[in-house]
Structure 1
């Protein structure tokens, strides 16, 4: 039994390399390839494809983008949609999944990840490539931290406030009459107290009112 796959990607080189790789597999049949979502939708509306195919859908398409295409596709049919993208940002990943995509694979993960994703989806599962999975886990970890409140020592809070306003380490040092190394020391301790890894995470918590 073949797994039927359709590919939508505007990059002809990517599209062809994915097609050739998948067609080399004994149990996969690539039905058709498209460079635009609109062309696929037109054919889908004519009932040209069997309903249980797997769709590999690029996000960064010209015209109707991949994310915008998902609701339109779902109005006509209900294929399993695997997003293929160079984007690994959590907002795009979560948006795609909330719109109805079954899986999300970073193009950086390579052809084997695409094959693995297809095999898992065919069995009724869902697949996230490793970098994408990390983003999703990070999002939920961050969401949990947003519900918590962190109380910082006065000097650490002052440093964080200055960072949120875009000040440099040197500017903060000058304003607080301390050395840059002392600023760095405050920041390291602040990260530890807030259970974050970088400035962006710390500022996000500060802006969300989770720090006092």
Structure 2
């Protein structure tokens, strides 16, 4: 028998899910409350359920904050978020806090039942829309990191000027420095980059090496 608890402040939704789950031969849903605080009070006095269905936007403490508190005190309780929210940060905040699944509220009652059974069997139930967001997050290519350059900010300015095709005089005008200062920076750039020509500096910059 899978014992289930519900934290949902919409009375109609809460009662509907509770009645449906309590009718299942393999399930019992005796506790359904409208806040994390009420669930915590219940847990102090009663045997903890195996699974809790938890909304995010609740009166008092949020469901995401509640996950962390419940999991700390009762680590064996599995928590499935059941919410209208499908934005990425709420999904990942919930999973990081310790949720084992994430369902949207348009999930049908039979699918909720199946998700609970899946969870107890070792799965991590998610609405298809949520699973896609999770997959997209992990498939996102990491931004390429530019190699750390030893160039100073001003030397990088000079490189940018070279890439833009400016002469030493125009670089000096752009940054309000003398041509001699530009030449001194160029010498330092050549030394740091181990190159001998302006073309090599430009090539390194265009390849993202500096």
Question: Could you state the TM-score of these two structures normalised by the residue count of structure 2?
Answer: 0.65
2:8 counterpart of 1:29:
no
Q: 1:132 aligns with which of 130, 133, 142?
A: 130
Unpaired segments of 5 or more residues in structure 1?
150-212
Moved over 4 A (4+): none
- Counterparts of 1:20 and 1:43, CA distance in 2: 19
- Counterparts of 2:107 and 2:144, CA distance in 1: 33
1:8 is matched with which residue?
A: 7
2:63 is matched with which residue?
A: 66
2:85 is matched with which residue?
A: 87
Question: CA, structure 1 residues 44+141, in 2 after alignment: closer, same or farther (shift >3 Å)?
Answer: same
2:104 is matched with which residue?
A: 106
- Counterparts of 1:73 and 1:55, CA distance in 2: 10
1:123, CA displacement in angstroms? Answer: 1.0
Unpaired segments of 5 or more residues in structure 2?
147-210
Question: Please, what is the CA RMSD of the aligned residues?
Answer: 1.9
- Counterparts of 1:49 and 1:11, CA distance in 2: 24
2:42 counterpart of 1:43:
yes
1:148, CA displacement in angstroms? Answer: 8.6
- Counterparts of 1:109 and 1:146, CA distance in 2: 35
Contact 1:113/1:129, CA 8 A, preserved across alignment: no
SS in 1 for 2:106: helix
Question: Could you state the TM-score of these two structures normalised by the residue count of structure 1?
Answer: 0.64
1:147, CA displacement in angstroms? Answer: 4.2
1:77 is matched with which residue?
A: 74
- Counterparts of 2:113 and 2:5, CA distance in 1: 13
The alignment covers a number of residue pairs equal to 146
Q: Which structure is larger by alpha-carbon Rg, 1 or 2?
A: 2
Deviations 1:186-211, CA, capped at 9 Å, x for gaps: xxxxxxxxxxxxxxxxxxxxxxxxxx
- Counterparts of 2:143 and 2:90, CA distance in 1: 20
Contact 2:7/2:35, CA 8 A, preserved across alignment: yes
1:145, CA displacement in angstroms? Answer: 5.2
Q: 1:96 aligns with which of 89, 94, 97?
A: 94
Deviations 1:71-90, CA, capped at 9 Å, x for gaps: 11122212000110100111
